[in-house]
Amino acid sequence: MSVAADTPAATGRSPSRTRRRFAAAEAYAYLAPGIAIVALVMLVPLAVGISFSFQNYVIFRPMSRGWNGVENYLELWTDRTFWLALANTARWTFWSVAFQLGLGLGLALILNRPFPGRAVFQSLVFLPWAVPTFLSGLNWQWLFNPIVSPLPGWLTAVGVLEEPRNILSDPDLALYGPITAMIWWGIPFFAITLLAALRSIPQDLYEAASIDGASPWQSFRHITVPFLMPMITITILLRTVWVANSPDLIFVMTEGGPANSSQTLPNYVFTSAYKSMDFGYASALATVLMAMLVIYSILLLFVRGRLGQ
Amino acid sequence: MKSITGAALWLVRLAYLAFALFPLFWLIRISLTPDDLLYSEGTTIWPSSLTLANFAYVIEESPFPVFFGNTVIVSLGTAAAVTVLAAGIGYAFSRFEFAGKRTLMVFLVITQLFPLVMVITPLYQLLAPIGLVNTRIGLIVVFTAFNLPFAAFLMHSFYEGIPRELEQAAMIDGCTRFQALIRIILPLMLPGIGATLGFVFTAAWSELLFSLMLITSETKKTFAVGLLSFVGKSGVDWGQMMAAATLALIPPAIFFTFIQKYLVGGLTAGAVKA
């Protein structure tokens, strides 16, 4: 808001400059309240959080609190759960986003062509996204439970399981439970953004292509894909970061278990902070996660820039 | 040939529909099943008789109505606050050129990279001295900040779909810019406002971890926290649990069904300009 307060002082300048300054002041007036709250509630705690990562800070041991340099980071280096959680985070994010993208693109293509009942169909297939995340987690946790759900029986019938049992209590399979829930919940988001992108492709391009004798596949390859690419990269970027950062489904469905087999970094951060009350170590974990996501995003945007040329 | 691809397409459509709806169908099916049938009949697609006893219990005897009310207050408060603030940010980004615009836009994108789990404890320490811990207002403030960046870009995309000439004409006729925004632009923005409200309402309704950390008293718990502690208790009652879950599903499902087509429309409008 300080910019707005400056403007009367600027009246002595040349008129166009004054007008520009006034426009800027007006823009800041529309922006300031929102930006201020984001900065206060996200940026300030983030900086404080990063500073925790260089401290010995366990709530139960207030007397031993103090700066300890990179000790938390060294501890992390030798922590086997950290490396396991890191590998799981990569698996969890990759499979979730890959299936959401594939199935979401398929759904967007289906919804882009008219068919009887399309409006109703669209509101029904988008419904999972309206389901609160914790509820998606509980819902799928129950679906994997052979006592109340036919799903384990069906998985046995098609040969995925040898007997109807709960995959969430199997260390080898537990992570696929939350992955399934995440795919189910996230398909609509991809479908919505990609459908919006599909609708913005000029239709006369397709007409021109078909007059020139292009096959449907060629039209898809040379018109649809290039037009969708910017939206696909930005959606992948957003979803990857959201999925990688989100502990909810895993916290609700497996709590990272059994025996850390489905532990991911955000869930490890949350349990370190919330259960062990080790804020220093939790912050170091979170800082590493954030650093990796920043590097990932820069790489993805760089690749996108290269492809765009 | 044409009828075969037609049939195949319908098969794919039905597969999508089944995958999307089966979990929800199952939730409702169990919530309507009498307790004894759950074990005697096993997991048949439809039980031989139905009951509303689980819903009656949840509504009349459990604390869920209180949790439900709290979540409505928090979600509506957040949705309203975010929409007003995002209307401001989106408008500034869409209609003004000013120093620092790019930086601010990049800043809002970068906030999406923050692992929110990281800010839980610092946030607790910042909110505690000003009395915002264990209050619904505190949750509204926190959720508003978290949801604002995406909502701002959503609103921006909707503004881009509205011609600038409209408010320029109004300003030539003597309106101030703010009057033009309120009287001319915002009425045209109703689909965008609706989409943003619905999007944020749904997101706030879903939030679990911050509510878990920031709310301690039973009377201020949100639905997510209440349901999770209900599930954590020993001797779970499947029917009651799923009845509670079904109730939690209704508001966001209604909200979302109304707004989803505006969401697609708004993103399309933004994509055309971009």
pLDDT in tens, A57-105: 887 777 778 888 888 899 889 989 999 999 999 999 999 999 999 999 9
**Do residue A40 and residue B145 have CB atoms under 8 angstroms apart?**
yes
Q: What is the mean pLDDT of residues B47-62?
A: 87
CB B248 within 8 A of CB B228: no
State the pLDDT confidence band at B11, using cuts at 50, 70 and 90: very high
Separation in Å, CA of A37 to nearest CA in chain B: 6
* Whole-number Å distance between alpha carbons of A100 and A239: 9
Kindly indicate whether the domain formed by B61-237+247-273 is annotated with CATH number 1.10.3720.10: yes
ipTM of this complex: 0.85
Same domain? For A181 and A257 the reply is yes
- Tokens standing for B106? 């990049």
Per-chain mean pLDDT for chain A: 86
Res. B235: pLDDT tops 90: no
Same domain? For A170 and A198 the reply is yes
Q: CATH number for the domain including A173? A: 1.10.3720.10
**Do residue B117 and residue A266 have CB atoms under 8 angstroms apart?**
yes
Q: A283 contacts in B (CB within 8 Å)?
A: 118, 121
pLDDT in tens, B210-232: 898 888 888 999 998 888 887 76
CB B82 within 8 A of CB B144: yes
At residue A5, the pLDDT reads: 40
Res. A178: pLDDT tops 90: yes
Same domain? For A103 and A244 the reply is yes
Separation in Å, CA of B20 to nearest CA in chain A: 6
Nearest residue of A to residue B247, measured between CA atoms: A135
Question: Total domain count for chain A?
Answer: 2
Same domain? For A17 and A107 the reply is no
- Tokens standing for A230? 């910017």
Separation in Å, CA of B207 to nearest CA in chain A: 8
Same domain? For A13 and A162 the reply is no
DSSP tag of A12: G
Same domain? For A17 and A89 the reply is no
Q: Of the given ranges (A137-151, A152-166, A178-192, B259-273), which has the lowest mean pLDDT?
A: B259-273
* Whole-number Å distance between alpha carbons of A74 and A8: 55
pLDDT in tens, A21-48: 777 788 899 999 999 999 999 999 999 9
Taking Cα atoms as reference points, which of A83, A89, A76 lies closest to residue A250? A89
**Do residue B212 and residue A274 have CB atoms under 8 angstroms apart?**
yes
Q: B93 contacts in A (CB within 8 Å)?
A: 31
**Do residue B146 and residue A41 have CB atoms under 8 angstroms apart?**
yes
Res. A184: pLDDT tops 90: yes
What range defines the domain where residue A18 resides?
2-52
Task: Output the CA torsion B33→B230→B252→A109 (10° steps).
Answer: -70
Q: What is the mean pLDDT of residues A131-157?
A: 90
At residue A230, the pLDDT reads: 81
Note if the bond before A258 is cis, omega within 30 degrees: yes
- The answer to whether residue A199 sits within a structural domain is yes
Res. A274: pLDDT tops 80: no
Chain A contact probe: residue of B118, B148, B246 with most A CBs at under 10 A: B118
Same domain? For A32 and A149 the reply is no
**Residue A72 contacts B, CB cutoff 8 Å:** no
**Residue A148 contacts B, CB cutoff 8 Å:** yes
Same domain? For A173 and A120 the reply is yes
- The answer to whether residue A62 sits within a structural domain is no
Separation in Å, CA of B92 to nearest CA in chain A: 5
Res. A190: pLDDT tops 60: yes
- The three-state secondary structure class of A66 is strand
Nearest residue of A to residue B24, measured between CA atoms: A139
Residue A56 is inside which H or E element, if any?
Answer: strand A55-56
Separation in Å, CA of B251 to nearest CA in chain A: 9
Separation in Å, CA of A288 to nearest CA in chain B: 10
Res. A7: pLDDT tops 50: no
* Whole-number Å distance between alpha carbons of A48 and A159: 51
Chain A contact probe: residue of B38, B91, B113 with most A CBs at under 10 A: B113
State the pLDDT confidence band at B112, using cuts at 50, 70 and 90: confident
Whose structure tokens read 């929800």? B24
In sequence order, what DSSP letters do the residues of chain B get, joined into one string?
-HHHHHHHHHHHHHHHHHHHHHHHHHHHHHHTS-HHHHHHT-S-SS-SS---HHHHHHHHTSSHHHHHHHHHHHHHHHHHHHHHHHHHHHHHHHH---TTHHHHHHHHHHHTTS-HHHHHHHHHHHHTTTT-TTSHHHHHHHHHHHHHHHHHHHHHHHHHTS-THHHHHHHHTT--HHHHIIIIIHHHTHHHHHHHHHHHHHHHHH--HHHHHH--SGGG--HHHHHHHHHHSSS--HHHHHHHHHHHHHHHHHHHHHHHHHHHHHHHHHHHH-
Chain A contact probe: residue of B114, B156, B160 with most A CBs at under 10 A: B114
What residues contact A286, with CB distance under 8 A and at least 6 apart? A49, A53, A265, A266, A269, B115, B117, B118
**Do residue A252 and residue B208 have CB atoms under 8 angstroms apart?**
yes
Question: For B43, which of A34, A153, A266 is closest by C-beta distance?
Answer: A153
- The three-state secondary structure class of A164 is coil
Highest-scoring range by mean pLDDT, A183-192, A228-237, B56-65: A183-192
Same domain? For A93 and A162 the reply is yes
Same domain? For A48 and A87 the reply is no
Q: Where in chain B is the domain with CATH 1.10.3720.10?
A: 61-237+247-273
**Do residue B96 and residue A266 have CB atoms under 8 angstroms apart?**
no
At residue A13, the pLDDT reads: 47
Res. A53: pLDDT tops 80: yes
Phi-psi region of A213 (alpha: psi -120 to 50; beta: other; left: phi over 0): left
Residue A118 is inside which H or E element, if any?
Answer: helix A118-125
Amino acid at site B208: L
At residue B271, the pLDDT reads: 47
Q: Of the given ranges (B14-23, B85-94, B171-180), which has the lowest mean pLDDT?
A: B171-180
- The answer to whether residue A63 sits within a structural domain is no
Res. B91: pLDDT tops 70: yes
Upper half-sphere CA count for residue A253 (Cβ side, 13 Å): 35
- The answer to whether residue A59 sits within a structural domain is no
Same domain? For A33 and A182 the reply is no
Same domain? For A93 and A223 the reply is yes
CB A243 within 8 A of CB A189: no
Residue A243 is inside which H or E element, if any?
Answer: helix A225-245
